[in-house]
Structure 1
Amino acid sequence: MTNPLLSNWDTPFQIPPFDQITDRDFAPAFEQALTETRANIDAITADTNVPDFANTIEALERADALLNRVLAVFYGVSGADSNETREALMREFSPKLAAFTSEIYMNADLFARIEEIWHARETLDLTEEQHRLLFVTHRGFVRAGAQLQGDERDRLKEIKQRLAVLGTQFTQNLLADEREWFMELSEADLEGLPDFVLESARSAGEEKGKDGPVVTLSRSLIVPFLQFSPRRDLREKAFEAWTARGANGGETDNRDLANETLALREERAKLLGYGSFSSYKLETEMAKTPEAVRDLLMQVWSPAVAQANADADKMTAMMREDGMNGELEPWDWHYYAEKRRKAEHDLDESALKPYLQLDRMLEAGFTCANRLFGLEFEPVNVPLYHPDCRAWNVTKDGRHMAVFVGDYFARGSKRSGAWCTTMRSQQKLEGEIRPIVLNVCNFSKPPKGKPALLSYDDARTLFHEFGHALHQMLSDVTYESLSGTSVARDFVELPSQLYEHWLEVPEVLAEFATHCDTGEAMPQDMLKRLLDAATFDQGFATVEYVASAMVDLDFHSGPAPKDAMERQAELLAEMGMPRAIRMRHATPHFAHVFAGDGYSSGYYSYMWSEVMDADAFEVFKENGVFDPATAKSLEDNILSVGGTREADQLYSAFRGRMPGVEALLKGRGLDKVA
């Protein structure tokens, strides 16, 4: 039988034929794609013509088209809907793919051709985008070890393969811990829980095969439980399980994996001639150096700690009023923060949540994209990889721009967090190819027949990931290697974080924040109180984030620690970490950093981008939040051009200058903290 992954897709928008693809198709498709890519690389190196941009650089862009197609489907499905077979395939594919990548990047004949073109670049009649692709390609080969020889070359190959294995195992261990743990709740344990938490807990219980409600380690369930349960003993049990992911001993413990990963990354950087892994990693980012990252983080750390400590004092006083002695503990923070929010802003999440329906928030995101960029979204009925998924045809002035797929509900087969990926990226080298963009979230699934309700943080996550999706949908470049989100890691979060601001626009909430039962708009006084509370608890949020970013930076900017957990504790003590706050991502479940190289020494990127997004939104506030000219400038200078220029050039083209940290501190309400 024909393998559907290898055949031409005669489907609407050439979307993967998920109704035909089975798990047994992935391994033979992967092997066939490797074989085809090798043959294409061999054809490039065997070409007797003088190396030029077309027969080498563009040919290299085309060489792995089938492999990219197979892997985009496989990894897209495996991250969002894993099973034992797919996890086994990931463990099999990862080292093979690492070895294959090294094989290409260390192909001496191929690199010689690239080097010849690179040295002749000023004599070639290249476009700006072609110059950029040549630069990125040459730099990528050098940074991957193309210039190494002998034992050093062999050792780097071994390191890459081992890191691929470690990253896959880290992810699967974390997923196993998240999938296995749950806490059953008796009737007595339900005290104080609002209806939306009860419904989520009952739905989770059904998924776990239990007759009653349970708390799982899904953020969309455990955080509301911590916010509302007056049972301190249960909060402690749930919180400690949540923060112990990846550190429970046994086969799923990630601590030794983290130690080995850090040592191998340091060795890799030294082989390539860098003083530290951070120096290697940050070379291609906007920040450039570990010192620049540390400077930004510490500018924010001191006011954040001051605010968090002041808030902790207020919540400790509230504990005393409840008759509790002792210190405010980490499992108390969410509970008393929620009580404090209600006291100070008269905001109760159980009253707010019915106004934040998933479908209405999707409409809000789509409508803002329409008013800003002229995009229109029409639901389409196509086979997808899971029944929870939905798809839309995205058009602009009648022209097809993308297929957008949303997968929004938590389940045991889905890794935690939220992300955006593509199952096909935009490019024009092989004709007009438009992207298939996927947003994945972990919102609580409602009981059948009831609407999905979001917290305000959930709604922000929805807008954030949709901002990434817009970066892909509006991409308009020739080469896939430069399209969409193929930009510096500390720039890639700009479009996503910037788009979050439109959720805060009063007219957007006034139109789309409607009650799930009555259809009535959110009352004006509630809307005002919600927006007035925008900076509430930002001391906590900033401290837990910056602590994680500083630990990530510290791990990678000096000698690799022999015991990452010990070094984590030392650094947090040195920084003066408030005792009632834990890192947002402790080392054993820090998937951003240890599930692969993506955000390693790069978790700071969210804050680096936030400096820009806070500054960029000021332009919209000055000119009008839906000002056509400002939106056109954002699209032309940032969203449509991918990585065709350096990130600081892209931002400066939009804003006219680079920003300072002031707008970020103001946006988090930390600008007046003593």
Structure 2
Amino acid sequence: MDAEGLLAPWPGPYGGLPPFDQATPERIERAMRLAIDRRREDVTAIADNPNAATFENTVLALEKSSRAFRQVETLRAVFASTRMGDGMVEADKRLAPLIAGIEDEIAQNSRLFTRIEAVLAARSALEPDQVQLAERVHRHMLRRGAALTPAKRAELTELNGRIARLQAEFQSNLSKSGDEVVWAVDAGELEGLPASAIASAAKLADELGKPGVWAIRNTRAAVWSVLQFARSRRLRQRVRDMWVGRCAAEGSCDNRALVKSIVTLRGKAARLLGYPTFAHMAVEPRMAKTPEAALDPLMAIWSPVRFESLVRLKDLQVIADADGLGEPIQAWDYLFYREAHRRMRLGFDSERVREYLEVNNVLAALFDAMGRLHQVQFRELNDVARVHPDVRVFEVSRDGSAIGVIYADLLAREGKMPSSWQYELRTPENIDGRVIGLSNVCTNFQRGPDGEVLLGWEYANVLFHEFGHALHMLFSRARYPSLGSMQVAWDVVELPSQLNERWLFDPPLLKRHMRHHRSGAAMP
């Protein structure tokens, strides 16, 4: 498949699936440039239509015009976050300002804006979701400069292009920071660490060309293990400093100047659009509406949270003093003594819990809970193109009919962002017939030295959380993609996923599915 082929409707079942096996950074870049040109042509035709503006020939036509663009954008986003090799980072930096530029060009098309306003002027003849879509397009165009003078539009476009380029560079640096390591050359430094963590550190050091020592990579799973279990305070401090200092020290990953530039440019763009600060611009479309409304509840709980935290810290200080610490607990001590508190006062051992949270057990529990809650079933698909062999793909069905497909990219690897997220590969729609959604769930679980994937409680929680986002997206019944369930006010997006987390705490669910990874015994 050549670059032009990436713009064609996706092949295969389920209304088509992303051709990850046919995509390369070079093809994606060429396809995106073609998609931008085609989108420009389509929008120009809509804006220059000699017929009177209607919902169908203006708003709906605009919604349909972006399909090929969205397809290529999906491939770009997945490669740029999970498969950064082979020149993808450089391609993404080149594409970022072009993508921002076409968005500004469309939004600032005065003829198109006039037609959108004409559609809204006749809103009484439209259905409610048609009005909502027209209003969303209108609002988006205003926030990209539609009402500005030509000179200010040009300035905004230039600012947005620079911001996009800097953000792509920021993300690239953040990803590279996951390759940083802290070296341990003395086995005594590793006292207290789980055997699996020690073995993984030895394996990483061997892969990096230093057999006989240990390497702690700058990823959350490796860092948290040290901070929770390592008795060596010096190692804890070194690892914690590496983690909190990501992209904040001199070197190839330094993001400090980028952050300053992005913040400055965002402020300029917001003021051009009439907002006093970028915070006012960012919060306006959310439920909070103003920065003050967002900040007030945080400040209201600050004092009681601080009081409770100090009480807990005193409890931990007692344990630390008995352990011979001899000084106040520091940031790199907190997780270590919190873990000690759990073991001593509560009889709870995080590492023992981990032995039951094998990734397939957690998935089985998740699918069971979602089946009982939402009457959906999950079936693994094997003959599907994927961005990496580790990715697992699941059909989601209800009453015998597929309602979506979830790509589960769960394992850490080189060239993948060190985080957890859910991304819409395709938003459900029902314009010319039902099209089901496709979701990409990404985490960075670590394989053990024997290939086992055992999750700490917080990582099992992450899996329930991200699948909550995926189901929220797949359950959308919106007719138009731009009104899909992930397009709600951003403060609302986290609600379904946070509710979904709570089902991990269901005791019968844990008893049914959480079995010891070796003995098969149920979790006590």
Distance 2:336 2:432 in 1: 55
Distance 1:84 1:246 in 2: 23
Distance 2:161 2:260 in 1: 16
* 2:155 counterpart letter in structure 1: R
Distance 1:183 1:83 in 2: 25
Shift of 1:267: 1.5
- Does the 8 Å contact 1:427/1:477 carry over to 2? yes
Structure 2 unaligned runs (5+)?
A: none
Distance 2:206 2:465 in 1: 30
Pairwise mapping of residues 80-91 of structure 1 onto structure 2 (< 5 A)? Answer: 80-83=82-85, 85-91=87-93
Distance 1:360 1:210, change over 3 A: farther
Pairwise mapping of residues 229-628 of structure 1 onto structure 2 (< 5 A)? Answer: 229-381=230-382, 382-448=384-450, 450-523=451-524
Distance 2:88 2:248 in 1: 24
Question: CA offsets, 1:202-222, max 9 Å, x none?
Answer: 454455455354211110111
- Does the 8 Å contact 2:219/2:418 carry over to 1? yes
- Asked if 1:228 is matched to 2:218, the reply is no
Q: Which has the higher contact order (CA 8 A, sep 6+)?
A: 1
- What RMSD, in angstroms, separates the aligned Cα atoms of the two structures? 1.6
Helix, strand or coil at the partner of 1:453: coil
TM-score normalised by the chain length of structure 2: 0.96
- Does the 8 Å contact 2:23/2:75 carry over to 1? no
* 2:435 counterpart letter in structure 1: I
- Does the 8 Å contact 1:353/1:454 carry over to 2? yes
* 1:467 counterpart letter in structure 2: G
2:122 is matched with 120
Helix, strand or coil at the partner of 2:50: coil
Helix, strand or coil at the partner of 1:5: helix
Question: CA offsets, 1:406-457, max 9 Å, x none?
Answer: 1111223111110000221111124221111110001111234x43110110
- Does the 8 Å contact 2:96/2:164 carry over to 1? yes
* 1:473 counterpart letter in structure 2: L
- Does the 8 Å contact 1:287/1:293 carry over to 2? yes
Helix, strand or coil at the partner of 2:428: coil
Q: How many residues align?
A: 520
- Asked if 1:19 is matched to 2:18, the reply is no
Distance 1:206 1:91 in 2: 33
* 1:453 counterpart letter in structure 2: L
* 2:222 counterpart letter in structure 1: L
- Asked if 1:64 is matched to 2:62, the reply is no
- Does the 8 Å contact 2:380/2:393 carry over to 1? yes
Helix, strand or coil at the partner of 1:215: strand
- Does the 8 Å contact 1:426/1:477 carry over to 2? yes
Distance 1:199 1:499 in 2: 34
Distance 2:67 2:256 in 1: 37
Distance 1:401 1:322 in 2: 55
Distance 1:369 1:203, change over 3 A: farther
* 1:129 counterpart letter in structure 2: D
Distance 1:208 1:502 in 2: 40
Distance 1:74 1:62 in 2: 20
Shift of 1:67: 0.8
Shift of 1:18: 2.2
Distance 2:286 2:180 in 1: 38
Question: CA offsets, 1:281-340, max 9 Å, x none?
Answer: 211111111111111111222122112111222222222212222221111111111101
- Does the 8 Å contact 1:218/1:410 carry over to 2? no
Helix, strand or coil at the partner of 1:183: strand
- Does the 8 Å contact 2:427/2:438 carry over to 1? yes
Shift of 1:265: 1.6
- Does the 8 Å contact 2:9/2:68 carry over to 1? no
Distance 1:94 1:170 in 2: 12
Distance 2:448 2:128 in 1: 50
- Does the 8 Å contact 1:284/1:488 carry over to 2? yes
Distance 1:31 1:176 in 2: 26
Helix, strand or coil at the partner of 2:394: strand
Question: CA offsets, 1:465-498, max 9 Å, x none?
Answer: 0100011111111100011311111000001111
Shift of 1:227: 0.5
Pairwise mapping of residues 68-217 of structure 1 onto structure 2 (< 5 A)? Answer: 68-83=70-85, 85-122=87-124, 124=125, 126-205=126-205, 208=208, 210-211=210-211, 212-217=213-218
Shift of 1:185: 4.8
Most deviating of 353-362 and 242-251:
242-251
Identity of aligned residues (%): 34
TM-score normalised by the chain length of structure 1: 0.75
Distance 2:10 2:257 in 1: 43
* 2:127 counterpart letter in structure 1: T
- Does the 8 Å contact 2:412/2:444 carry over to 1? yes
Question: CA offsets, 1:489-522, max 9 Å, x none?
Answer: 1000001111001011111112112111111111
Shift of 1:183: 2.5
Most deviating of 29-38 and 175-184:
175-184
